[in-house]
Amino acid sequence: MSEMRIIDARDTFCPGPLMELISYMKRASVGDEFELLSTDKGSINDIPEWIKKVGHEMLSSEQVDGVWHIKVRKAK
Amino acid sequence: MSRKIFVLCVSDSREKLQMAAMVASVAAASGDEVTVFFSMNAMLHFVKGRATEAPAEGEFGRLMAADKGVPSFKQLFAYAADLGDAKLLPCSMAVDLLKASEEDLDPVLGPPTGLTRFLSDAEGAQLFTF
């Protein structure tokens, strides 16, 4: 299993966190996993929506001390 | 299924350019086929030696200019092209009027394109104007 890579997009506004995630995922291999850190509240809706639309896999999301931790896996 | 989305940018206001870039980048990165057509004052931001700062129309423009966490509209248009293969097309009339050579144009732009071609390609698709 590949190591979870962290993308720190804290303190950036929409659509910054999504674009950061996409640029990493575009260069990744199938099965690679990422944990996106975001303080942008919209990310909690936008990222799962994008993941669903393009066919990747949502692993989890949780808020810890005001930071969203959104875990995803590249599925194709 | 991917949609065809056309974005027409004519204003040089920070708010309008930012919103256009947000629509283009998110749609392109989500698999939609995006074409952006720049004309009028919006073109000034993509020609060397012309506009640098986009003027704010109001409070939001000033807030965005002051906050480093807001991605710039130029960065978002570049994301649209790099991550989603969006076409960013300068209006051929605007290029001619500005007497801009190919070297003067921002490298993110595609070839100068006529309005007739843009409207023909956009027929029946979603068109957003800023």
Predicted local distance difference test score (pLDDT) of residue B10: 98
Q: Is B76 on the interface with A (CB under 8 A)?
A: yes
Annotated catalytic residue: which of A4, A6, A14, A19? Answer: A14
Predicted local distance difference test score (pLDDT) of residue A1: 57
Contact at CB, A18 and B71, closer than 8 angstroms: no
Phi, psi of B108 (to 5 degrees): -75, -15
> pLDDT tens digit string along B20-62?
999 999 999 999 999 999 999 999 999 999 977 899 999 999 9
> pLDDT tens digit string along A57-72?
999 999 999 999 999 9
* Structural domains of chain A in order of their starting residue, each with its CATH number: 4-73 (3.30.110.40)
Contact at CB, B22 and A12, closer than 8 angstroms: no
Measure the CA–CA gap between A43 and A14, rounded to whole angstroms.
7
Facing B71 at nearest CB: one of A16, A50, A54: A16
- Taking only the tens of pLDDT, chain A with its 76 residues reads 568 999 999 999 999 999 999 999 999 999 999 999 999 999 999 999 999 999 999 999 999 999 999 999 999 9
Question: Smallest CA–CA separation between B47 and chain A, in Å?
Answer: 25
Predicted local distance difference test score (pLDDT) of residue A2: 67
**What contacts 24+ positions apart, CB below 8 Å, involve B95-99?**
B95/B43, B95/B47, B98/B43, B98/B44, B98/B47, B98/B50
Helix axes B14-29, B73-84, angle to 10 degrees: 20
Measure the CA–CA gap between B55 and B44, rounded to whole angstroms.
12
Does residue A9 carry a catalytic annotation? no
Facing A54 at nearest CB: one of B30, B71, B82: B30
Best residue in A14, A18, A22 for a mutation probing chain B (most B CBs within 10 Å): A22
Predicted local distance difference test score (pLDDT) of residue B41: 96
State mean pLDDT over B58-77.
Answer: 94
State mean pLDDT over B104-121.
Answer: 96
State mean pLDDT over B82-108.
Answer: 96
State mean pLDDT over B122-130.
Answer: 97
Token code pair at residue A72? 């995803």
Question: Smallest CA–CA separation between A67 and chain B, in Å?
Answer: 15
| Average pLDDT of the residues of chain A | 94
Contact at CB, B29 and A22, closer than 8 angstroms: yes
CATH match of B4-129 with 3.40.1260.10: yes
